[in-house]
């Protein structure tokens, strides 16, 4: 099938790669504009652009989608189907209406739960035991289109958003191939979402970072995992602001007030949390430093218990 692919981050690369390796004709790729990184502010290609160029696929990076230039390029490439995976832009109706076989999206949640920009992170932040991927027909309203296929997977107890993203990317690629085959042979279904049950997964911000130790150890563990690697959970240890990169929920309980330091030695750093629960800080990153074990931090910055 002649397909136009739209995607930007690493999550989308397995989907594009799957379409290429399955022999579909990728007439072109849309990706967001390159962004400057690091101290030199050098422009770096998006992961999707990088892969597309390695396969000699034409790439277009429009700044806007509503000024006519994007639609003109689509008309030039004449796709039968548009596939979107984490592109990061809402498609206007004139683009949605163009391809004869429609526009479909690879969305990393079990819709209607977690519509929006950060479904993987919010599934972990909220302590979900499972999540998944939905392949859906696209509609004007955000992530509200009819479902073609959906598949669930468990969320690992210690899995970070970065790790879960990689697993869902592979699942999305496999599910996408099934959906495209169904569209090609005319057997793809349209299952309307239960819109009244929808929940949102808004963009992440640093406002989510501060850790509140009145919450339970499990809730804080979910916060650390869900915000990794960005914006990261943050706390202050004896006046030093630290990102918290990894934690473990301990089996033990305590009667100490939430926020108390229960252990701070070569064996690690344990904190009292809400409900008498205990959280062990495994990996931290003090401001201006590289990530390190909590024990390594304590070796150079001793902290008194309590």
Q: What is the pTM of this model?
A: 0.95
Cβ 106 vs Cβ 15: under 8 Å: yes
Across-strand partners of 152? 132
Q: How far is CA 169 from the centre of its chain?
A: 9
DSSP single-letter state for residue 37: E
Cβ burial of 227 (10 Å; 0-12, 13-18, 19+) is buried
pLDDT in the model for residue 304: 85
φ, ψ of residue 84 in degrees (nearest 5): -115, 135
Q: What distances in angstroms separate CA 153 from CA 109, 129, 158, one per listed residue?
A: 10, 9, 15
Across-strand partners of 105? 84, 136
Query: How many CB atoms are located within 10 Å of the residue 286 CB?
Result: 16
Concatenated DSSP letters of 232-281: -EEEEETTEEEEEEEEEEEEEE--SPTT-EEEEETTEEEEE-GGGEEEEE
Query: What is the rounded distance in angstroms from the CA atom of residue 151 to the CA atom of residue 157?
Result: 19
Query: What is the rounded distance in angstroms from the CA atom of residue 123 to the CA atom of residue 120?
Result: 5
Cβ 143 vs Cβ 136: under 8 Å: yes
pLDDT in the model for residue 146: 98
**pLDDT tens digits, the chain, 306 residues: what are they?**
999 999 999 999 999 999 999 999 999 999 999 988 776 668 889 999 999 999 999 999 999 999 999 999 999 999 999 999 999 999 999 999 999 999 999 999 999 999 999 999 999 999 999 999 999 999 999 999 999 999 999 999 999 999 999 999 999 999 999 999 999 999 999 999 999 999 999 999 999 999 999 999 999 999 999 999 999 999 999 999 999 999 999 999 999 999 999 999 999 999 999 999 999 999 999 999 999 999 999 998 899 887
Hey, what domains does the chain have and what are their CATH numbers? Answer: 2-197 (3.40.50.170), 206-300 (3.10.25.10)
Residue with tokens 């496999």: 174
Range 120-124, long-range pairs (CB < 8 A, 24+ positions) = 120/161, 120/164, 120/165, 120/168, 121/161, 121/201, 121/204, 121/226, 121/227, 122/201, 122/202, 122/226, 123/155, 123/164, 123/201, 123/226, 124/155, 124/159, 124/160, 124/161, 124/164, 124/222, 124/225, 124/226
pLDDT in the model for residue 68: 94
Cβ burial of 37 (10 Å; 0-12, 13-18, 19+) is exposed
Of 178, 177, 136, 133, give the one whose Cα is nearest residue 155: 133
SS3 286: strand
Residue with tokens 């992961």: 47
């Amino acid at each position: 099938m002649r397909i136009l692919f739209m995607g930007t981050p690493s999550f989308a690369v397995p989907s594009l790669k799957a379409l290429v390796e399955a022999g579909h004709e990728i007439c072109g790729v849309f990706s967001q504009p390159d962004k400057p990184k690091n101290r030199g502010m050098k422009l770096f290609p998006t992961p999707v652009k990088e892969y597309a160029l390695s396969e000699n696929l034409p790439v277009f990076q429009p700044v806007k989608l509503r000024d006519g230039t994007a639609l003109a390029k689509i008309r030039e490439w004449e796709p039968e189907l548009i596939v979107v995976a984490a592109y990061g832009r809402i498609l206007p109706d004139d683009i949605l209406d163009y391809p004869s076989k429609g526009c479909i999206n690879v969305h990393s949640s079990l819709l209607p739960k977690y519509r929006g920009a950060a479904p993987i992170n919010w599934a972990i932040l909220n302590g979900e035991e499972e999540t998944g991927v939905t392949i859906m027909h696209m509609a004007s309203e955000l992530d509200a289109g009819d479902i073609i296929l959906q598949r669930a997977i468990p969320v690992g107890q210690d899995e970070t958003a970065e790790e879960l993203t990689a697993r869902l990317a592979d699942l999305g690629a496999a599910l996408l191939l099934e959906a495209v085959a169904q569209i090609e042979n005319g057997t793809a279904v349209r299952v309307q979402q239960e819109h009244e049950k929808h929940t949102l997964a808004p963009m992440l911000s640093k406002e989510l970072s501060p850790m509140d130790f009145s919450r339970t150890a499990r809730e804080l563990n979910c916060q650390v995992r869900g915000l990794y690697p960005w914006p990261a959970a943050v706390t202050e240890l004896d006046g030093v602001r630290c990102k918290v990169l990894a934690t473990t929920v301990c089996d033990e309980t305590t009667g100490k007030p939430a926020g108390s330091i229960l252990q701070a030695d070569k064996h690690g750093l344990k904190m009292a949390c809400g409900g008498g629960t205990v959280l062990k800080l495994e990996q931290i990153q003090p401001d201006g430093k590289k990530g390190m074990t909590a024990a390594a931090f304590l070796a150079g910055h001793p902290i008194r218990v309590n």
